[in-house]
Homo-oligomer: A and B are copies of this chain.
Amino acid sequence: MKMQVDGRKARGDKRRAEIIEATLRVIERDGVAGVTHRIVAAEAGVPTTSTTYHFSSLDDLLIATLISCARDMATEVYWMIDRARSRGSRGASEVAGLLAEALGPRRGRTMAEYELYLLAARKPELRPAARRWLDVLTSMVRHDDEVAFRVFLAGIDGLLIQGLIDDEPPSADELRPVVDYLLKPR
Residues of A within 8 A of B (CB): 31-33, 111, 114-115, 117-118, 120-122, 124, 127, 130-131, 134, 147-148, 150-151, 153-159, 161-162, 164-167, 177-178, 181-182, 184-186
Contact = CB atoms under 8 A, between A and B. Distances in A.
Contacts of A130: 165
B114 A167 contact: no
Given A32-B33, A185-B186, A153 B147 contact: no
Contacts of A157: 154, 157-158, 161-162
Q: How many copies of this protein are present in the complex?
A: 2
A178 B150 contact: yes
A165 B186 CA distance: 29
